[in-house]
Amino acid sequence: MRIGIALMGMVLVATLAFAADVDGTWNGVITVTGSEVPVSWTFKADGEKLTGGVKQAGGPEIPLKDGKIDGKNISFVLPIDYQGTLLQVNYKGVVVSTTEMKLTGEVQGQTFEYTVKKVK
């Protein structure tokens, strides 16, 4: 019985150790049609649910949807209105360290990658 409780405790501690701390603001630069655009992401994890959004150059925050977190991996959809057309940008990310995350986006068959750094 004690061994079972000890094993359950170790599994819980291991699970918490592998869960990434994504809460907060993450800044980076994305290249769009040859121009570098600063972006600022905010993320908040609640169990396996991820919420937040992104701001670009003084614009309003665009909220993400269908956000999920699984250990160091995140995924979400960013709906963007591009010249009257609604585009769904599918994102995946991996927390590389406590201060760095790599994001990969996919929209209309095109993929792009960039790195964001956590704001202290």
Buried (b) or exposed (e) across 84-115, using 16+ Cβ within 10 A? eeeeebebbbebeeeeebebebeeeeeeeeee
In the chain, the domains with their CATH numbers are 21-118 (2.40.128.20)
Query: Rounded to the nearest 5°, which phi and psi values hold at 36?
Result: -90, 125
Alpha carbon 118 to chain centroid distance?
11
pTM: 0.80
What would the pLDDT profile of 9-65 be if each residue is shown by its tens digit? 443 333 334 457 999 999 999 987 888 999 999 999 999 999 999 998 778 999 999
55-110: per-residue pLDDT in tens?
987 789 999 999 999 999 999 999 998 899 999 999 999 999 999 999 999 999 99
